[in-house]
Structure formats: structure tokens, C-alpha cells
Amino acid sequence: VILILLSQINVACSSSHLTPSVIAATDRMFLESLALQGMQLSFDNTTAATKDWGKLRHLEPAAVVYPRGVEDIATIVQAVARSESDLTIAARGLGHSTNGQAQAHNGVVIQMTAMRGIRVMPLGDGASKGAPFVEAMGGDLWVDVLKASLEFGLAPKSWTDYLHLTIGGTLSNAGVSGQSFRHGPEISNVLQLEVVTGKGETVDCSPTQHPELFFATLGGLGQFGIITKARIALEKAPQRVRWVRALYTDFAAFRRDQEFLISAISPFDYVEGFVVANNANPINGWSSVPFEASDISEAMIPGHAGPILYCLEVTKAYSAADLHTIDEVVESMLAPLNFHRELLFKTDTSYFKFLDRLHETEVQLSSRGLWDQIPHPWLNLFVPASSIERFDMLVLKKIMTQDFSGPLLVYPLNKSKWDKRLSVAVPEGPDEIFYIVAFLRNKLPELDGGPTLSTMLEDNDNILRVCEPLRCKQYLPRHQDRIQWKRHFGSKWDLFVQNKQMFDPRAILSPGQNIFSRRR
Ligand code: FAD
């Protein structure tokens, strides 16, 4: 439904302006000398590297490198780290960041998608004790990893909602979706990494081999090294999924059921949820919930419903042999839940189509200039379970009742599935459960009304202000200064700084995150 509405709109999109590259002549000569030695380095074709999903920052690099192998990456990192220059380096996946995190003003962007290669090991090896895994390059896409693994009837266990993201980009953050409650985020399912550190050293690391680099890199926002290869655990892939959505009018009932569904006895394989407005708006109203648009009408919404509704989204995977029992199994799994019985919607699809469900949206919106052509002032938060009712009262029911302009996801995760040694910051404190709340707003062209970009950014600031006493953390974070970063990482900050000193002492890597300043 979102698609249909958006696809009727034509684009006239505004974006922030470019901060051009101005580099010292000596730095330019230094980079040119590398090009002369055979490095695939472009000084002219830098436009793509100034763009990302957010369309909020456009910083021009001095050059873009297209690596042919890990040696190229080691060479350029080593050369820049040893030079007496101000040059920095950003690995860039597909630039799906929202705030210039993969950009390097006046520096070098390494276009990781130039290096691809996926190898599936269905019988594993000695180190994995025969457990299957897949090895992929940092610039490979998750969708290609899935396709290659499915050829062996296998698949990774943990996902993001959208698969056209790179391995290196998501592993530098976390990679969260409806399977994370059971398997942890994508970074909890990595067996081994090959990393080029900020010193230009190529290191294989794992939980037992150079574990400090392994855990620092996963969720490390690209600060410690460039992920050139990752080994990811696989499991037997299901063939189909029964996909279910159910509406609630009461937040307490919605969260109780979600938390029950992510408990140890969880019967579903995937648990997510989202918020919709109690109106007929096809983007964020209740009509965006059913799989067939004709399956819901205003008459079905209970009269006592407030301005927003909550939609549980779950799946049960199954194989062809279970086809005759799946209806019964799903019915019994839904029986203890407290959604409105007349507001239950189901569909059935292949495992691949379910995982790649956003791609169809991408193709349609892209053809109308409404995919990566428009600004996305996204805000992702981790909210401790003990604060989520207050968050609902103070944010969801207040700030967001007017115009979401995009999906608003709310679903719980189990903290024990996030190894404490990973760099990624999650809410501190005793709560075992925290929620991901994702405000995935799209700034449609001016002529289509809706809030302005600056209003959306103000909304984000207001939400962050409300969140401060609630012990929330930003996911895919953006912070202004070191004080904010220190607060963000909390008890992990000292180790984060120590790791930076150890693996990237000149602070050349991932300058777009705005955490450390380049040292000569
Ligand atoms: P980039 O944006 O290019 O890079 C991200 C950061 O990682 C940058 O700092 C960059 O310098 C660094 N980096 C990139 N490659 C490497 C590397 N090889 N080694 C070291 N550092 C590197 N996230 C979720 O968790 N769950 C979701 O469901 C989800 N859905 C999404 C849906 C859409 C439509 C979009 C646009 C994004 C979604 N994301 C989701 C966010 C996504 O995980 C991040 O954007 C992530 O950064 C991956 O994007 P990328 O591969 O383009 O990386």
C-alpha cells in the first residue's frame, strides 16, 4: 500500500549541498604516486562517494579507490597511516548510512563493492567442527550471500529487514531484524574476520584468535579496521514461511505478547512489530497492515481505539512436509495472544521472498525517484524494557500521532544474545530485554505536503531529549562531539579508546563517524 501511494508521486527532491574537497598539493601528489604504482584510484569520479541514504551530508573525498584485493587495501591504509598528511580513509559499502558515516572529507573512500567473492562451505572445516559456514568479502551483499547459501539448502541465521546491504557495513553496526531475539544480531553470528587495521596490517581474527580485534571490529563503526572477509555461520534453510500480522489497540497487551514471544519457549522464528495511525492513511494507517488491501475497513477497528494501533508481525518457517499441519500449528501458537481476533492477517511465501521482501518496494519506488533519491532523516533507538511504557506515553502517543511519513518499528530483543565484548552499545542496566524503535521517515517532495525536513529533524531532537532519562541508546548512532560519544558507549568507552589507540593510532579510519580526530 505504501508502494502504491508513493508510486503515484513524482519527484522534485531537495537535498543539502556539497562540501567540496580541498586538499593540500602534497597530499594530492602523494595519492597520485600511489595511482602511478597501479592502484585503481579515481580523482574525478567521486560523486557517488558524497551521497548516502540520509541525503543530509555530502562531503567530497579527494579520491576513491576501487580495490582489486586485500593487498590494495593494506597498501593504501599503510601508506596513509605512515604519511605526514591529514588524509583519512572511509570504507564504503553502499552508503546506506544516514549521516555521512561512510564519507571522508578530503580523504580517500575505499569502494568495498569492487571486491566480491562468496564461498559456501556446507560441511564446514576443522575449526567449525563440521558446522556449515559461508565466507564473503566485506563488499558482498547479504542478498548474494543468501542466494549462494540457498543453493546448498542453507542460510545465515540472523538478518536485517533489507538485504541489499554490505557485509562490512552491517557488521560495523550490528544487523538487527526479527530473528535477533533468538540468534542475536548479525554480529553475533560471525565465526571469523579478515581485517586490515588502521596500521595497514592484515589480520585473521576470531573469538579465539586476536579476540580483542575481532570483538572491537564487530559493531565498531569502522573505527579499528576494514573488514575484508567474514565467515558467517549457516543453518538448514526452511522452504516457506507463514507470515502473520495482528493488530492491538493496547500497548501493554502488545508488549506483553511480544515479550512472551521472545522468551525461551518462543514458538515463532521471527518477531517484529510496528505502529500505525488509527486512520485510513495508506502509508501509515491501518490499511497498511493487511497483505491484501481489501481485507480491512474502518468498521473493523474497535470503537475504543486511540490515535495509534500496534501491529505484531511474526513468521513460522516450515518445509513442504509440514504443509498439511502448518495451519493448525500457527493457530495454536496464536491462541494465547491478546490481539483483536477480527484484525488478524496471514499470508504464505517462500523463505527467500520473505527475507528479500523490501526489494520489490525498492524497485518500484526507485523507478519513481522515491527510494535513494530522497532524504531519510531516520532515527533508531534501543529502549530498555523498563522504559518502554513511558516511551510509548511520551513519544509514540504524543510526538508521533500526526504524520510518521514512513514505517515506525517497535520490537524487543534479548540482551543476553549480544556478547558484552562486542563494541556496539546497548542499554546498560539490569533489563534483559530492550526494544528497537526505528523511526524510518521519508522526506517526500515538497509538493506532496507532509512535514518539512527541518521539522523531521526537530522531531528527532525532541525524541532524543525525551529519551535521555530513559537510558536509551542510539543504534546506527550519530553524535556531535566526544562527550556525547563517551556517554553513548558508557562503560565500553575506555576500551573503545584503548582499541583505537591499539589498532588505528593515527585515527585515519571512518572519519564520517565523527568520533576521533586525525593525528599526525
Ligand atoms: P555503509 O553505509 O557504506 O557503511 C556504514 C559504516 O561502516 C561506515 O562508517 C563505513 O565507513 C563502515 N564500513 C563500510 N564497509 C566497511 C568494511 N568493509 N569494514 C569496516 N567498515 C566498513 N540495519 C539493521 O540493523 N536492520 C535493518 O533491518 C536495516 N534495514 C535497512 C533498510 C534500508 C532500506 C536501509 C537503507 C538500511 C537499513 N539498515 C538496517 C541499516 C544498515 O545496516 C546500515 O545502513 C549499514 O551501514 C549498512 O549499509 P552499507 O552496507 O551501505 O554500509
Ligand 1, atom 36: nearest CA belongs to which residue?
96
Strand 41-42 and strand 63-65: the pairing is antiparallel
Q: Relative to the CA of 227, which ligand 1 atom is closest?
A: 19
Q: Is the CB of 343 under 6 A from ligand 1?
A: no
CA of 97 to the centre of ligand 1 (A): 6
Q: Does the beta carbon of 513 sit less than 6 angstroms from any atom of ligand 1?
A: yes
Architecture of domain 240-475: 3-Layer(aba) Sandwich (3.40)
What is the pairing mode between strands 41-42 and 89-92? unpaired
Closest CA to 150 of 181, 118, 174, 179: 118
100 lines ligand 1 (CB under 6 A): no
Here the cell at position 230 is 567474514
Q: State the catalytic residues.
A: 96, 161, 272
Find the 406 Cα to ligand 1 centroid distance in Å. Answer: 19
**Which one-letter DSSP state was computed for residue 195?**
E
The torsion defined by the Cα of 386, 389, 392 and 393, in degrees rounded to 10, comes to -120
Per-residue pLDDT of the chain (520 residues; tens, 9 = 90+): 333 334 333 333 345 678 988 888 898 899 999 877 777 999 988 999 999 999 999 999 999 999 999 999 999 999 999 999 999 999 999 999 999 999 999 999 999 999 999 999 999 999 999 999 999 999 999 999 999 999 999 999 999 999 999 999 999 999 999 999 999 999 999 999 999 999 999 999 999 999 999 999 999 999 999 999 999 999 999 999 999 999 999 999 999 999 999 997 878 999 999 999 998 888 788 989 999 877 888 889 999 999 999 999 999 999 989 999 999 999 999 999 999 999 999 999 999 999 999 999 999 999 999 999 999 999 999 999 999 999 999 999 987 666 778 899 999 999 999 999 999 999 999 999 999 999 999 998 876 678 899 999 999 999 999 999 999 999 999 999 999 999 999 999 999 999 999 999 999 999 999 999 999 8
CB atoms within 10 A of CB 484: 15
Helix-then-strand count for the chain, H and E: 15, 18
Query: CA 476 to CA 274: how far, in whole Å?
Result: 19
Q: Where in the chain is the domain with CATH 3.40.462.10?
A: 240-475
The minimum-distance atom of ligand 1 relative to the CA of 175 is 25
- Pocket of ligand 1 contains residue 162 by CB under 6 Å: yes
d(CA 185, CA 380): 15
Q: Is 138 in the pocket of ligand 1 (CB under 6 A)?
A: yes
> Residue 87 to residues 23, 205, 279: CA-CA distances in angstroms?
9, 27, 52
Could you tell me if the CB of 97 is within 6 A of ligand 1?
Answer: yes
CATH pick for 118-236 out of 3.30.465.10, 3.30.43.10, 3.40.50.880, 3.40.50.720: 3.30.465.10
Q: Which atom of ligand 1 is nearest to the CA of 98?
A: 45
ipTM above 0.90, yes or no: yes
Q: Where in the chain is the domain with CATH 3.30.465.10?
A: 118-236
Q: Which of 100, 91, 124, 64 is nearest to 228 (CA)?
A: 91
CB 50 within 8 A of CB 103: yes
